Chains A and B, each alone.
Chain A
Amino acid sequence: MTRSLPVDVAFWLFGAGSVLSAWLVFRTDSMVRAAYWLLASFAGVGVVMVLLHARFLGLVLVLMMAGEMTIMAVFMVMFMMNPAGLNPMTMVHQHRTAKVAGVVAFAGLALVGVVGDFPDRPADPSRDPTAALGRELLGDSMLIFEGAGVTLLATMIGALAIAGKRGRYGDAEHGSAPPPLGMAAPTGGGGVGGADAAAGPAGGDEHPGMAGMEHP
């Protein structure tokens, strides 16, 4: 590890900045600003990772989080009340417990970090870490890498299934209000295509073709 002064200064600057912006995430009234403070925190960690010669991972982190925080900010505007922080508000519960838990977690982990006796074997930056990571990902650890890819694919499918407008038993919106009396209750879990086809016209299903797709 190069122990030069500029690297040290940059580390303290971006490390402290990262912690400070992480704290501001929960101190600002505006949720959109909170999303961008979180992005600043991730960017600080990304720079520290680059300083540690994990250049690829640091840049991937910044890129990924830039996209994710933009989605988060859009989410805030779409779904949350008061996303712009026009009114000062604190929306917290069990505040004292949360503070104590946070301080205990910090103290415990920092104690391990300071007192712990870790081996002093710094990485050799002359051996390109990015190339080493690439060989590892597509070599010995390919199964883990591919497992992560399949996990992401399954997550995408699951997220679409959860967030889709049409649930397994009909429109997701139907859960928001009890059905009116006299209407045929949705027959859940019948597994027979006829049940859905029968309930379709009675329930005013606009897409009768979808019922067949769900129960092929």
Chain B
Amino acid sequence: MTLPALLVVAAALFGIGVYGALSQQTFVMIMMGLELMLNGAMLAAVALWAMSTAGSPKGQLLTVIILTVMAVEAALGFALVIGIYRIRKADMTEKLKRLRA
């Protein structure tokens, strides 16, 4: 378990997340892609904290902030999906050609 190996795993998670967020048509699947990107970022943050900062608690604090971002993204994502579904009956990006209801 070396730092480059950890960062490669994190990069793989981030790359898969980029692919998913750009390619998927369903809103919730796009959110999954975003979460995977944050997952990779979090793994990289923890790996750097454990391997290169001599255990500074600020590194763990950064991870807590990433967790907060994840929660905010999920909550607002679900709320937007519900709001869009109420007005448009849409669950895919292709059904939203205009933003105006």
Say how far A178's CB is from chain B's closest CB, in angstroms: 10
Q: How large is the interface on A (under 10, 10 to 19, 20 to 34, 35 or more residues)?
A: 35 or more
Q: From residue 27 to 45 of chain B, which have CB atoms closer than 8 A to chain A?
A: 28-29, 31-33, 35-36, 39-40, 42-44
Q: Scoring B residues 53 to 79 as 1 if CB is less than 8 Å from chain A, else 0, what string do you get?
A: 111011011011101101110111011
Residue of A nearest to B101 (CB): A175
B11:A109 contact, CB within 8 angstroms? yes
Inter-chain CB contacts under 8 Å: number: 276
A172 near B87 with CB under 8 A, answer: yes
A113 near B10 (CB under 8 angstroms)? yes
Alpha-carbon distance A175/B65, docked complex (angstroms): 36
Q: Report whether A72 and B61 are in contact in the complex, using a CB–CB cutoff of 8 Å.
A: no
Shortest Cβ distance from residue B73 to the other chain A in the assembled complex, whole angstroms: 9
Contact B3 A19 (CB under 8 A): no
- Contact (A23, B46) CB under 8 Å given A76-B28, A163-B79: no
Interface of B is mostly: helix
- Compute how far the CA of A158 lies from the CA of B58 in the bound complex, rounded to whole angstroms: 29
Please report whether the interface of chain A is mostly helix, strand, loop or mixed according to DSSP: helix
- Pick the contact of A51 from B1, B10, B16 — CB < 8 Å? B1
A122 and B51 within 8 A (CB) = yes
Interface assignment of A202: CB less than 8 Å from any CB of chain B: no
Q: Are B5 and A152 in contact (CB under 8 A)?
A: no
A52-B46, A75-B28 known; A133-B13 Cβ under 8 A: no
Chain B contacts of A108 at CB under 8 A? 11
Alpha-carbon separation in the docked complex, A23 to B73 (Å) = 21
Which one of B22, B26, B63, B86 lies within 8 Å of A176 (CB-CB)? B86
* A207, CB-defined interface residue at 8 Å: no
Q: Which of A1-42 contact B (CB under 8 A)?
A: 1, 3, 7-8, 11, 15-16, 18-19, 22-23, 25-26, 31, 34-35, 38, 41-42
Most buried by B among A53, A99, A110: A110
Does A168 sit at the interface, judged by CB under 8 A?
no
Q: Which residue of A lies closest to B20 (CB)?
A: A26
Beta-carbon contact of A54 and B49 below 8 Å: yes
B46→A113 contact, CB < 8 A:
no
Residues of B within 8 A of A92 (CB): 23-25
Interface residues, chain B, CB within 8 Å of chain A?
1, 3-20, 22-26, 28-29, 31-33, 35-36, 39-40, 42-44, 46-55, 57-58, 60-61, 63-65, 67-68, 70-72, 74-76, 78-83, 85-89, 91-94, 101
A-B contact pairs, 17 of them (CB 8 A): A35-B32, A52-B49, A54-B49, A91-B92, A98-B22, A102-B20, A106-B16, A106-B18, A118-B51, A120-B51, A122-B50, A122-B51, A144-B61, A151-B72, A159-B79, A162-B83, A175-B87
